[in-house]
Amino acid sequence: MTTETVIPETQAQSPAPTASQAENHTVPLSRLNEVLAANKALQEKLATTEKERQEQLEAQLKEQGKWKEIAEQRANEMAALKPKADQLDAIETTLKSVLDSQIAEIPETMRGLVPEALNTQQKLDWLSKNKALLLKPKAVDIGAGKQGGGAPAGADLTQDEIDMAKAFGVKPEDYAKNKFK
């Protein structure tokens, strides 16, 4: 598989390609720019021609007194676009509610950092990338400073402790709760 490379105009020294240029299929940058400009001009001309053709068709229909056909054509176009517009409105509403809930999670002092110039989708993208930086880190609860609280999870009483609880007339569960205070 061969690859084409673009060389700057300053490196294109002669109009005839050298042997290494012929093998690499290099194209001078100026020639590439010419082709791209021509392509863009053709695309613009095509768009203009299509618009003119549509205008001519409408003008012919108007001249022929076929207003009804024009109105029906426009009505059909609008009917086809109406469900998409409704769907887009529903999506926008949903995105706004998601954005509001995301912003509500950010501390009040940090909310001003969310860019206002962005649209809803761009704000959501921005928040997904930067939300961790805006939130206060939550400390891991290691139970420091806590007193009592009963038996730790999974702590079982030994047979001696169960016997002691029975001797004092205490339920083993109550004994386990008070054992670690």
pLDDT in tens, 14-59: 555 555 544 555 667 777 788 888 888 999 999 999 999 988 888 8
Could you give the CA distance from residue 108 to residue 170 in angstroms, rounded to a whole number?
51
**Residue type (1 letter), 144:** A
Could you give the CA distance from residue 74 to residue 72 in angstroms, rounded to a whole number?
5
pLDDT for 150 beyond 80? no
Pick the more confident residue, 15 or 137: 137
